[in-house]
Amino acid sequence: MDTSTQASRETDQQTRDWLRTLVAFDTTSRNSNLALIETVRDALKRQGIDALLVHNAARNKANLFATLPAQDGGTQGGIVLSGHTDVVPVDGQDWSSDPFAVDEREGRLYGRGTCDMKGYIAATLALVPEFLAMPRKKPLHLAFSYDEEVGCAGAPYLLADLRERGIQPEGCVVGEPTGMQVVVAHKGINVFRCRVHGRAAHSSLTPRGCNAIEHAARLICHIRDLADAYRTNGPYDTFYDVPFTTLTTNQIQGGIAVNTIPDACEFTYEFRNLPGMSPRDIQADIRRYVDEQLLPRMRAEFPDARVEIETGPAAPGLEASEQAAITALVRALTRDTATRKVAYATEAGLFQGLGIPTVVCGPGHIEQAHKADEYVALDQLASCVGFLRRVGQSL
């Protein structure tokens, strides 16, 4: 066996070992990710790399940013390898094995986050010794975030810190599961929480109340009407699997008893907009309906009725430039020239918003994420390791 083949096998084993380590941390978004982040920080420290941690306000979560300098010690420019450390819950899911212990069977590694997206992070960390040994003319940066799964809430703090410190990489690869194919665009996501306040009354005295649930239903139906209009009239982008902007109401609660007019109803809604559409304009339409139609009807029943809309997590869409060097590089290294756009959101649009050209490419398939028996195939991990190795060599 030649030296390069032996090295590749060792890296593949280190990738599995790292994945087992990462999956063992229950980093469901409601939990802290500090144990995982500090483990990664300490491993990098042992290899001579100082990692920066950017904490949330409660200091129970952190982003990690680390730079592997160029051969001459340079830290400016280069490429970011980016991934999120949080995962979605396993509550109510019927798993065949412990979701927080990697189970290998039939060429697949099962466990929460193996696909989305600890497999990519594991491959990146396994390659750090190789990256450090490469005679690179430019640096490599590692960016691992928290709370991506709840609206990309953590990465903005990391990017704000990079801006303040004047760090400006030349490109970024976000390793969300794409089957190691190049994704050049995705939709934005915008989440809102709406609280409708009416007046309670005994249900036998209906005219004396202002039914918050019924008025909330009017707004929900308006949101659905907007969604139907986008579906029917566009605008469209046929490269997407869902080629139009979507709006949905996904949670609702209200009422205290079957014989009581409810004075409050709360629901959440989201829209996923094509990158060329303004989220502000979409939300302005909803707000206009509230102010011009819904509130006048409510206040005819109860003068103090009100509707509160709170802006929640949001992430911008991505529209990568085909002329950007990172797009050309990733296409060349994967030999993938297809135009591919997806409806799900990632942190890529946030990096692009900082002026860092970004594409999405990582192991596994989105269809395997977020469900019971989530897995990543071993051949996908091997392809990812080979791809990331070539990224390092290209520098």
- pLDDT at res. 4: 57
**Are both 143 and 55 inside the same structural domain?**
yes
Q: How many CA atoms lie within 13 A of 94 on its CB side?
A: 0
- pLDDT at res. 9: 77
- pLDDT at res. 12: 86
| 118, 21 contact by CB (below 8 A) | no
> How many CB atoms neighbour CB 205 within 10 A?
9
SS (H, E, C) the chain: CCHHHHHHHHHHHHHHHHHHHHHHCCCECCCCCHHHHHHHHHHHHHCCCCEEEEECCCCCCEEEEEEECCCCCCCCCCEEEEEECCECCCCCCCCCCCCCCCEEECCEEECCCHHHHHHHHHHHHHCHHHHHHCCCCCCEEEEEECCHHHCCCCHHHHHHHHHHHCCCCCEEEECCCCCCCCECEECEEEEEEEEEECECEEHHHHHHCECHHHHHHHHHHHHHHHHHHHHHHCCCCCCECCCCCEEEEEEEEECCCCCEECCEEEEEEEEEECCCCCHHHHHHHHHHHHHHHHHHHHHHHCCCCEEEEEEEEEECCEECCCCCHHHHHHHHHHCCCCCCEECCCCCHHHHHHCCCCEEECCCCCHHHCCCCCCEEEHHHHHHHHHHHHHHHHHC
What CATH number is given to the structural domain containing 197? Answer: 3.30.70.360
Domain that includes residue 380, residue range: 3-185+317-394
**Are both 201 and 232 inside the same structural domain?**
yes
Nearest to 188 by CA among 83, 28, 341: 341
| 241, 340 contact by CB (below 8 A) | no
**Are both 239 and 300 inside the same structural domain?**
yes
The residues annotated with a catalytic role in the active site are 86, 148
- pLDDT at res. 35: 98
**Are both 48 and 174 inside the same structural domain?**
yes
- pLDDT at res. 6: 60
Nearest to 219 by CA among 286, 280, 285: 286
Give the separation between CA 136 and CA 139, rounded to whole angstroms. Answer: 7
**Are both 133 and 18 inside the same structural domain?**
yes
Q: End of a domain among 258, 284, 315?
A: 315
Report residue 102: phi and psi, to 5°: -60, 130
**Are both 208 and 291 inside the same structural domain?**
yes
Instruction: Give the pLDDT of the chain (395 residues) as one tens digit per residue.
Output: 555 566 677 888 999 999 999 999 999 999 999 999 999 999 999 999 999 999 999 999 999 999 999 999 999 999 999 999 999 999 999 999 999 999 999 999 999 999 999 999 999 999 999 999 999 999 999 999 999 999 899 999 999 999 999 999 999 999 999 999 999 999 999 999 999 999 999 999 999 999 999 999 999 999 999 999 999 999 999 999 899 999 999 999 999 999 999 999 999 999 999 998 999 999 999 999 999 999 999 999 999 999 999 999 889 999 999 999 999 999 999 999 999 999 989 999 999 999 999 999 999 999 999 999 999 999 999 999 999 999 999 99
Give the separation between CA 394 and CA 390, rounded to whole angstroms. Answer: 6
**Are both 192 and 299 inside the same structural domain?**
yes
Q: End of a domain among 283, 315, 347?
A: 315
Joined together, the tokens standing for residue 153 give 């809430």
Give the separation between CA 335 and CA 369, rounded to whole angstroms. Answer: 25
Give the separation between CA 33 and CA 27, rounded to whole angstroms. Answer: 5
**Are both 112 and 219 inside the same structural domain?**
no
**Are both 308 and 322 inside the same structural domain?**
no
Count of domains in the chain? Answer: 2
Write the single-letter amino acid at 175: G
Name the one residue in this structure whose structure tokens are 């019927």.
Answer: 94
What CATH number is given to the structural domain containing 170? Answer: 3.40.630.10
**Are both 324 and 211 inside the same structural domain?**
no
Q: Which residues contact 93 (CB under 8 A, 6 or more apart)?
A: 99, 371, 372
Q: End of a domain among 315, 341, 359?
A: 315
Joined together, the tokens standing for residue 275 give 């990158």
**Are both 16 and 120 inside the same structural domain?**
yes
Give the separation between CA 89 and CA 371, rounded to whole angstroms. Answer: 9
**Are both 213 and 353 inside the same structural domain?**
no
